[in-house]
Structure 1
Amino acid sequence: MTRTLILGGTAWLGRDLAEQLVAKGEEVTCLARGESGEVPRGVTFIRSDRRASGAYDLVVGNAWDEIIELSCDADLVAGALKALAGSTQHWTLVSSVSVYASNAEPGADEDAVLVEPSDLDDYAHAKVAAERATTEAVGDRLLIVRPGLIVGPGDTSDRFSYWVSRLALASDESVLVPDLHGRSAQVIDVRDLTEWLISAGHRHLTGIYNAVGSERELSTVLLSAAQVAGHKGELISADDDWLTAHDVNYWAGPRSLPLWLPTSDTAFARRSRSRFLAAGGSERNLKETLEDVLADERTRGLGRERRAGLTRDEEVLLLDELRG
């Protein structure tokens, strides 16, 4: 039995990690404020504000087989490293493919140039700073994992789930999509990522890995989502200039078309996964992920308010204007 400390563990990825570890019979402790949700049954939960003095007092004396850091906040990362870097056999830092300086190099691998972390309020900069601080403190016991877009049941970002939900909601009506020519999507199911993270920890795998799924044409993803959703209407596309002129945003957030990227950034979804595959990385069938996401979305409500995408009313108004 291994002893794992997850710094976090009540939000989506951390909770899935904790659930899978417990299911394997492992001893799991989560240290977090607990504001993102409940920890799974069987997990030891230590409620702690990581910014407070003595935040790690209840775990600092333990010998851990694995510590998993999910945060990119400079203060949180530094505090954890100061308290715990010497108390574990293996440390995993979950970073992001957002750390790369260029999104214009299809097939770029883990050796590509990173952004220079000059603004720690910026997500990508903060992740690079976390990688550097952890490398210095942990050395050759460190695994840095750079996931691409994480998807699956339970996701609250709506970047992936928007499409299968919208297509199901629209039924036989039209759905607005971006110009799909030359656009790619690269996603990894949270359950596949978690399974690999656990395996990598057990093997004491070290180094840096892009944990990304297969490179797919965005059109393939949307057509698969339409099939799963049972959508019988049209997919009506608009070009980038028209969409941006009508205040539709790229990628995520309110009034956006999720997964849509500027042509200058399309290689963001075309990262090399060779090293990940060689280290045992795998992915489930896209249809399975879409089906599970749709089931989860139906439970939460297809028409609910979302963090990303267009409202159906916004979409209908845009479609009417597009048709003239």
Structure 2
Amino acid sequence: MKILILGGTAFLSAATARQAVGRGHQVTCLARGTSSRPPEGTAWVHADRDLGIDAYAGVAGEWDAVIDVSRQPGQVRDALQTLGERAGLWTFVSTVSVYTDDATPGQDESAALHPPLQADTYTDPEQYGPAKVACEAAVIESVGDRAHISRAGLIVGPGDVSDRFGYWPARFARGGRVLVPDTPDALTQVIDVDDLAGWLLDSAENRTAGILNAVGDPLPLSQLLDMVAQVAGDHDQQVRIDPAFLVEHGVEYWAGPRSLPLWLPAEYRGFGCRSNAAAGAAGMQLRPLVETAQRSLSYERQLGLDRDRRAGLSVDDELELLSEWSKRS
């Protein structure tokens, strides 16, 4: 197959390009390449999608599949305008953040969406979901039944530098008492980057169209943390702390400084429990989560367990919180 990847230099798009080359496909990546190059074995069209339709001047011919990971509606519309008629299956990687209801577990692809963003670009993180809704709408309007909309959940594994998952295997590997949220009823779900890349390529090869949630199987956050601790060789030194105490002491949910990754408010129970039944029925394969944890730990060791992080608690913050908690309990 001739596959055009709009991206190809970072995380998911790079993983997809590597797998596509490994499967023997003819792969072209359109990317700026300011921080990294596309994988070996791909053709590289140097282009900045912020330049509009001129960015695609170097892309000639027809494509069996186009895979786009953009989050900016203007970029998606420009790509469709110039390439839509020359593509077989058009895959757009969206997100479960398009859904309005984050409280109800088990919802499928029919759940209500945010109103689409009207602007070509977004800068406020709160507009991420609406921006992806606008991107989806543009894809469907342009290519119709040749569209595959893959609504991904939290993507994790080698190449993830967000710390929204990698914080945990790295933290348990460092040893000592580990602060974790005491949320036995909280659910979470993640998808390994290489499983998602494989799903995108399987769909391209099989011409799988439609809108499908590309998410992992949901499980209790406490169970996931126990499993990650075992992978990291931790010996049950978790200190489970009341969420109310964490909020009171300025610990943030999900991501960012002084946060606990994967932890969400109780009203977000549905965010970590989307249905993946349709994608599973269409052939999406998921590896055991313990393997993803092992892969993530290996990657974290390469980066350095003690590096500065985008998400999680610093050593000093964690020690401070553990000390304050011990005074209460």
| TM-score class, shorter | over 0.9
- What amino acid maps onto 1:162 in structure 2? Y
Moved more, 274-283 or 230-239: 230-239
Q: Give 1:37 deviation, angstroms.
A: 1.8
Q: Does 1:45 align with 2:48?
A: no
Offset of residue 41 of structure 1: 0.6
Poorly superposed stretches of 4+, deviation over 4 Å: none
Counterparts in 2 of 1:116-127, with a 5 A limit? 116-118=115-117, 121=122, 122-127=127-132
2:33 aligns to what SS in structure 1? coil
Q: Residues 26-175 of structure 1: matches in 2 within 5 Å?
A: 26-52=25-51, 54-59=54-59, 61-118=60-117, 121=122, 122-169=127-174, 171=175, 173-175=176-178
The CA deviation at 1:232 is: 2.2
Structure 1: gaps (5+ residues): none
Coordinate RMSD, CA, aligned? 1.1
Shift of 1:240: 2.1
The aligned counterpart of 1:14 is 13
From 233, 241, 257, the equivalent of 1:230 is: 233
Q: Distance in 2 between matches of 1:109 and 1:232?
A: 38
- Mark the CA change 1:179 to 1:119 in structure 2 (over 3 Å): closer, same or farther: farther
- Any conservation in 1 of the 2:118–2:134 contact (CA below 8 Å)? no
5+ long unaligned stretches in structure 2: none
Contact 2:229 2:236 in 1 (8 A): no
Once the two structures are superposed, residues 275-313 of structure 1 have per-residue CA deviations (whole angstroms, 9 ceiling, x without a partner) of 011001121111111111111111110010111111112
Aligned counterparts of 1:46 and 1:293: Cα–Cα separation in 2:
30
8 A contact 1:7–1:31 mirrored in 2: yes
1:118 and 1:189 map into 2 onto residues whose CA distance is 29
Deviation at 1:105, TM superposition (A): 1.3
1:5 corresponds to = 4
Q: Secondary structure at the match of 1:195?
A: helix
Task: After TM superposition, list the pairs within 5 Å mapping 1:137-286 onto structure 2.
Answer: 137-169=142-174, 171=175, 173-286=176-289
Give distance in 2, aligned partners of 1:89 and 1:78.
17
Rounded to whole Å, the distance in 2 between the matches of 1:111 and 1:34 is: 37
Q: Is the 8 A contact 2:183 2:243 kept in 1?
A: no
Deviations 1:183-234 (A, max 9, x none): 1111111111111110101111110000111111111110011101111252
In the superposition, the TM-score normalised over structure 1's length comes to 0.96
Identity of aligned residues (%): 47
Counterpart contact for 1:10–1:35, Cα < 8 Å: no
* Post-superposition offset of 1:180: 2.0
Aligned-partner SS, 1:131: helix
TM-score normalised by L of structure 2: 0.95
**CA distance, structure 2, for counterparts of residue 118 and residue 100 of structure 1:** 13
Change (3 A) 1:119 1:243: farther
